[in-house]
Amino acid sequence: MAQASLKAKHTQSDVTWKTRLQEWWFRNRALIGFAFIFPWFAGFIIFDLLPFVYNLYLSFTDYQIGTRGVPPWIGFENYIEIFTDDKLFGKSMYNTVYYLGFSVPLRLIFAFLIALILNLRVRGMELYRTLFYVPSVVPLVAATVIFAGFLNTRYGFLNQFLVLIGATPVRWLSSPDAIKPSLILLSLWGFGGQMIIFLAGLQSIPDDLYEAAAIDGGTGWHRLIYITVPLMTPTIFFNLLLGLIGGFQIFEQVFILLDTNGGPLQAGLVYMLHVYNKAFRDFEFGYSAALSVILFLIIFVLTLMLVYTSNRWVFYGDAQDDET
Amino acid sequence: MKVSRLIGLAIAVMMLLSLGLAPTLAQDCDGEVIELEFMNWWGAAREALMDTLIGHFQEENPCIRIINQVQPWDNRAELLATAAASSNPPGIIMSTRPETYHFAISGLIIPIDSFVEAHGTDLSVFYDGEIGLQYWNGELYGLPMPTAGGLTSLYIYNKDMLRDAGFDPEAPPKTWQELEEMSAAITVADPMGVDVMGTQVIGITGGDAAFVSWLYTNNGRYASDDGRTLLFNSPEGIETLEWMVNFTNNINGGVENVADFFQDTAFAQGDHPWYEDKLAFLRINTSFYGHYNVNDPEGYADTSHWGTMLRPYNGDNPNATHAGTTGYNYSGAWAYTIPAVHPPEKQEAAFKFAEFIGVHPLGGCAFLFAQSRPSPVKACNENPAYYEVNPTWSVVLEGLATDVAVSITPVQGQLAEILANAVEEALFGVKSPADALNDAHEEMQALLDEFWAEFDADNM
């Protein structure tokens, strides 16, 4: 009896304690939420925002290696020089835009098609999905080194294959005309990340839409064009944005494959390589900061344009109807 | 229990061992031990040799502890720039001539003249051309090691391939014309490009350095002695580039064949066409002997199979002769520089180490001998044992004697990029050699004038 009473008392005390904790938790839920996101927020401020602001400041200075104290303020001189006197600004921007113009759409299409295939209900699909994703797990440096072997003119797999089928071998990394296509080819290697996002998007499309289309006599093609693609536009938009931002920042692959000069006739001198050379070869950090600010502005404006135009082609379901 | 005892015992042994190793130094040192981080690029097989050198130094200087920080070659520029510019740079930095100049002009490193005077360091032990490269604006910033010379003046050649092609294996080509003749006879093309190559006269990376090297074998010059006027687009320069383009097109089958032939190969790694008897003449720097010996000791020992020759010169130019260049190559003319931010006692320690590397018999002298490569210190190269470790030593010394110092400035990186593009434009047929060089000259001279104008204004 005494034991039962004690147990009841304990239980009551537990309940009171739990209730109080829950109440405290509920009252301070906003604070707790902020506490959880604080590490990310602190990291963002320390490692992203502050360097960005400092970089912006440096772009208006003549900051060179060894500058002690406050670097000399030169206003827009770096920017004026970039637009009036820097031949490699135009060249590197052209190379980057060329690369982007082909690699981003090709990678999107490739990742989307593979995701469509991997969305089929086939036995052992989990294994196939893993296999297709594995290349994306390989570090970029390792993947690039592997690709250097693939692209070797004399002994590379690609040219050996071309010779086998009677085609003319391509000088992937030694001909100025083939450099950019080689980089575009390499960019397809890491399609796995986009593929996974597409796959997640595909799996969120309700089956009843396809069933309704089937009842109405829609073919596979109709289902793809009138159901899958429209409902996937938010995912396509997201992947497009990521692809563009990442594409503008292409660096490691080129650095490893072509060295800092960007290969023959600088056909592979991409924008970030130019930024790198100005900073670490010429030690002109202020100028290099200005180059990177310009790249940021280009990406920022492009992103804004994409977001602004997205309501014309991105389908967000019935959200607007619901609001009205 | 037994396991924990074993672990305890192991920890105790490790502690005893570590006490026995590190504090050999502390025991012998009367005062405070100065730690000196040594940022360098003596990787691969050289790391152990550098450790030996450091060991000898520490025996003589027990109060200085050198921390050997061998750096990876990749991202070298980033590593060096960020380390040198940081508020806590390494105690001593291995840098190339353009980098040394950059750091000097930025005030990141200190001139060492006062240390040289205080220590009574005899600079006359160095070849003039070697020590001379380490001065900027009249002040000395480092002591050299290895040589800046021997980077462009020497070739190794395959005697068997010469013999098979009907040439005298003991008479390697002396002139451009002989080189052309022999290369043409040796080169074997295949559907993928070139299977066996006589030689190539262009650089695999950076066409400017190859052009400048050949320029001097045609009695041309890159720049005036004061470094203020560029001279490479002289008639000799244009003739040189025309010859390089013609050689590449007619004998190698084009610039792309050359790039493809050497793609993904490295002499130091042992996967170079040289080791497969597919290349007859190879331009080397003196580090190649050590790499050759490591990668193919039997081949290296067999001197009936290979020899060393001097870079051929233009036989049609009566004023031309064998020549090499020092101080032009971006990766050449290494020195050991001392950051300005360190306290005087650390800088003093750094100088002692730099001096040991530079002039001590157990320093750079022994270090380079172990690699069969020459020293910037004249007396070191007179060691008769060199003839045993490098069977072609007499030619190496001859090559060093032909080297000519090239004047450069801290903007050399930018100038070299423009010149490299000009050479490529000529090689790819985008421009004629004359137009490519003249256009590059105009752009480069403007950049150089701008640099000197700023420099003169700052030093008025």
Question: Domain range spanning residue A36?
Answer: 2-47
B174-178 average pLDDT score: 98
Closest alpha carbon to A228 in A130, A73, A116, A153: A116
> B200 and B223 share a domain?
yes
- Give residues with Cβ within 8 angstroms of A47, minimum separation 6: none
The residue of chain B nearest to residue A283, with distances taken between CA atoms, is B81
> B316 and B175 share a domain?
yes
Distance of alpha carbon A260 from alpha carbon B205, whole angstroms: 10
CATH number of the domain within which A299 lies: 1.10.3720.10
- A152, A260, A280: residue with CB nearest B264: A152
Q: What is the pLDDT of residue B44?
A: 77
pLDDT of B350 strictly over 90: yes
> B355 and B345 share a domain?
yes
Domain-located, residue B422: no
User: Three-state DSSP class for B403?
Assistant: strand
| A273 within 8 A of A215, measured Cβ to Cβ | no
Mutation target to probe the A interface, by most A beta carbons within 10 A, among B71, B188, B205, B264 is: B264
pLDDT of A41 strictly over 50: yes
- B107, B206, B428: residue with CB nearest A265: B428
Do the chains contact at A153 and B193, CB–CB below 8 Å?
yes
Domain-located, residue A248: yes
Domain-located, residue B15: no
Q: Given CB atoms, is A174 within the 8 Å cutoff of chain B?
A: yes
Q: What is the pLDDT of residue A140?
A: 87
Question: Domain range spanning residue B219?
Answer: 154-329
Distance of alpha carbon A236 from alpha carbon A227, whole angstroms: 14
Q: What is the pLDDT of residue B373?
A: 87
pLDDT of B25 strictly over 50: no
Strands B92-95 and B34-40: parallel
What are the tens digits of pLDDT across the range B260-309? 999 988 888 888 999 999 999 999 988 889 889 989 999 999 989 999 99
pLDDT of A1 strictly over 60: no
Among A188-192, B92-96, B238-242, B398-402, name the most confident range: B238-242
- Give residues with Cβ within 8 angstroms of B433, minimum separation 6: B238, B241, B242, B245, B426
Q: What is the pLDDT of residue A304?
A: 95
> B117 and B231 share a domain?
no
> B115 and B233 share a domain?
no
What are the tens digits of pLDDT across the range A271-281? 999 999 999 88
Mutation target to probe the B interface, by most B beta carbons within 10 A, among A150, A171, A283 is: A283
What are the tens digits of pLDDT across the range B118-153? 999 999 999 888 898 899 888 999 999 998 888 899
Q: What would you report as the CA-atom Rg of chain B, rounded to the nearest whole angstrom?
A: 24
Residues of B in contact with A166 (CB under 8 A): none
Q: What is the pLDDT of residue B24?
A: 43
Strands B34-40 and B306-310: unpaired
Distance of alpha carbon B7 from alpha carbon A112, whole angstroms: 56
Do the chains contact at A265 and B413, CB–CB below 8 Å?
no
Higher pLDDT, A77 or A64: A77
What are the tens digits of pLDDT across the range A88-142? 999 999 999 999 999 999 999 999 999 999 998 888 888 888 888 888 888 888 8
Interface residues from chain B to A (CB-CB < 8 Å): 77-78, 81, 84-85, 102-103, 105-108, 191-193, 205-206, 255-256, 259-261, 263-264, 411, 413-414, 417, 420-421, 424-425, 428, 430
Q: How far is A53 from chain B (nearest CA, A)?
A: 20
Quote the DSSP letter at residue B69.
Answer: E
The residue of chain A nearest to residue B340, with distances taken between CA atoms, is A66
> B36 and B140 share a domain?
yes
Number of inter-chain CB pairs under 8 A, A vs B: 83
Do the chains contact at B256 and A152, CB–CB below 8 Å?
no
Place of tokens 């510019």: B85
Do the chains contact at A154 and B261, CB–CB below 8 Å?
yes
Do the chains contact at B260 and A65, CB–CB below 8 Å?
no
Total of domains in chain B: 2
Give me the percent of chain A exceeding a pLDDT of 70. Answer: 92
- B108, B264, B424: residue with CB nearest A66: B108
> B254 and B380 share a domain?
no
Window 137-156 of A: residues touching B by CB (8 A cutoff) are 148-149, 152-154
> B176 and B310 share a domain?
yes
pLDDT of A322 strictly over 60: no
Q: How far is A159 from chain B (nearest CA, A)?
A: 9
The residue of chain B nearest to residue A276, with distances taken between CA atoms, is B78
Candidate from A308-317, B380-389, B432-441 with smallest mean pLDDT: A308-317
CB-side neighbour CA atoms (13 Å) of B302: 10
Distance of alpha carbon A96 from alpha carbon A46, whole angstroms: 29
pLDDT of B159 strictly over 50: yes
Q: Given CB atoms, is A51 within the 8 Å cutoff of chain B?
A: no
User: Three-state DSSP class for B150?
Assistant: coil
B445-449 average pLDDT score: 96
CATH number of the domain within which B48 lies: 3.40.190.10
The residue of chain B nearest to residue A264, with distances taken between CA atoms, is B424
Q: What is the pLDDT of residue B31?
A: 81
Domain-located, residue B380: yes
Q: In degrees, to the nearest 5, what angle opens at C-alpha B256 toward C-alphas A162 and A104?
A: 60
Do the chains contact at B205 and A153, CB–CB below 8 Å?
no
Count Cβ neighbours within 10 Å for each residue of B338-355 and write b for 16 or more, e otherwise: bbbbbeeebbbbbbbbbb
Distance of alpha carbon B172 from alpha carbon B392, whole angstroms: 13
A209-214 average pLDDT score: 90
Mutation target to probe the B interface, by most B beta carbons within 10 A, among A280, A284, A288 is: A280
Q: Given CB atoms, is A277 within the 8 Å cutoff of chain B?
A: yes
Distance of alpha carbon A281 from alpha carbon A274, whole angstroms: 10
Give me the percent of chain B exceeding a pLDDT of 70. Answer: 93
Domain-located, residue B424: no
> B307 and B336 share a domain?
no
Do the chains contact at A67 and B106, CB–CB below 8 Å?
yes
> B312 and B211 share a domain?
yes
